[in-house]
Structure 1
Amino acid sequence: MPGRLEELAEFEEMLVEPTAEDKAASSASTVPAGDAAAAQAAQKKPGGIHHPLEKPVKRKLSRGHLALEARIDLHGLIQSEAHGILLDFLLRAHDRGLRHVLVITGKGRSMGSDGALKRSVPLWFSKPEFRFLISSYETAARQHGGDGALYVRLSRGRGDRG
């Protein structure tokens, strides 16, 4: 459809990490009391960069020696639906103390390009609402969806160091 590519480009620009000036301005602003814990946890991850899973962990997940405790299938959804559903899923999984989940985005190659969710989900993970939930993520093994899925390691909750 005409004009959709420009809208997608604008949307992706909004998802890009803010500049150092923007970060300094946002850190100077006040945070509502309800969001204080989320903002504080988000600041623990410098720049919102998540590291890939360690090779032994990814190997165990792919071979089934380490359980995927939950999975969510987002393919076929539009970005606005998928964002809310994914955030809710990860919040509930984190609250339940789960560590490894599978997020299926789909490959999305129907129009000859990578899918919108396949591109957007990793960008969402660096946003403040997701950043404190996720420790690391990486493309899943072939039998779990390959390029169309992600292994996600959720961060531990406070006091959950065992």
Structure 2
Amino acid sequence: RGKFAVVKKCVEKATGREFAAKFLRKRRQGEDCRPDILHEVAVLEMAAASPHVIGLHAVYETPREIVLVLECAAGGEIFHQCVAEEDEAFTEKDVVRLMRQILSGVAFLHQHGVVHLDLKPQNILLTHSSPPGDIRIVDFGLSRRVDAVQEVREILGTPEYVAPEVLSYE
């Protein structure tokens, strides 16, 4: 459960494949959020070619919600290994591999004019937990499309992870 969505594991009956269903309310605090959700869908569709961005399988709409059916990243958030005791933490070799994947995913997004704006350990998932699988970047709810000359002049993201220069409007 995040600030704006609930994610539940689901199974495709015909194949038995597991997915993650992200339920997003179309109205929050009286405001129409449908355009923001459709932006997230568009980013996920654009990023389908990246192996390091979560895969979008299907989208369903009900009168109150939009449901994104996403690839299931069964390894969970990297946050848990980042704060784990030494015996449960990533090895140095794992960190090198995972950082390359994170940077590759972010570079792909930037090459396609998308900035995530809320990249944090809770928004980076693993395909498997043990041994650590591959990286999947998730949650594009705050992302923005930008061009080479445009600046984002909003303070967005999770306060604990926002860069100091962003907070000081540099």
TM class by smaller structure: under 0.3
Q: Greater relative contact order (Cα 8 A, min sep 6): structure 1 or 2? A: 1
Q: More helix per residue: 1 or 2?
A: 1
Q: More strand per residue: 1 or 2?
A: 2
TM-score using structure 2 length: 0.25
TM-score using structure 1 length: 0.26
